[in-house]
A = this chain, B = another copy of it.
Amino acid sequence: MNHIDLVALLAVVQLVFFAILVGRARGRYGVKAPAVSGHEMFERAYRVQMNTLELMVMFLPALYIAAKYWPAQYIAGIGAVYLIGRLIYWRSYTAAPARRGLGFALSMIPVLALLIAGLVGIIRNAAG
């Protein structure tokens, strides 16, 4: 099985899920397009989606580049931590934005680990 592709697709599925929650929050809290503010609960759902969008643009390139230089199962494992971190981020941000720290750390640290893995891989490859 291609674990890297699977992790990448699950990250996309997760983003689709967060986007659906934003659409539902529009209806539930009466925030009509094009507005993206006006009700605290809508704004929380929207920020979860936007923050995940921001991280995806870091996560996906770092995931695929790191996987060029290191065994796929380790890199996919780091990716799995990211997926769990995002779920925790979503649950805690929706409950109380101030408690988003753990979920954020558990999704940001894997991104940083993949970036370092990628950079070390490129440099080792150039040196060798």
Contact = CB atoms under 8 A, between A and B. Distances in A.
Interface of A: 1-2, 5-6, 8-9, 11-13, 15-16, 19, 32-36, 40, 43-44, 46-47, 49, 53-54, 56-58, 60-62, 65, 68, 93, 97-98, 100, 111-112, 115, 118-119, 122-123, 125-126
Q: Which of A12, A40, A60, A100 has the most CB of B within 10 A?
A: A12
Contact of A56 (B2, B35, B57, B65): B57
Given A12-B115, A16-B112, A16-B115, A1 B126 contact: yes
Contact of A34 (B9, B62, B97, B112): B97
A47 B36 CA distance: 9
B33 A122 contact: no
B34 A46 contact: yes
A125 B9 contact: no
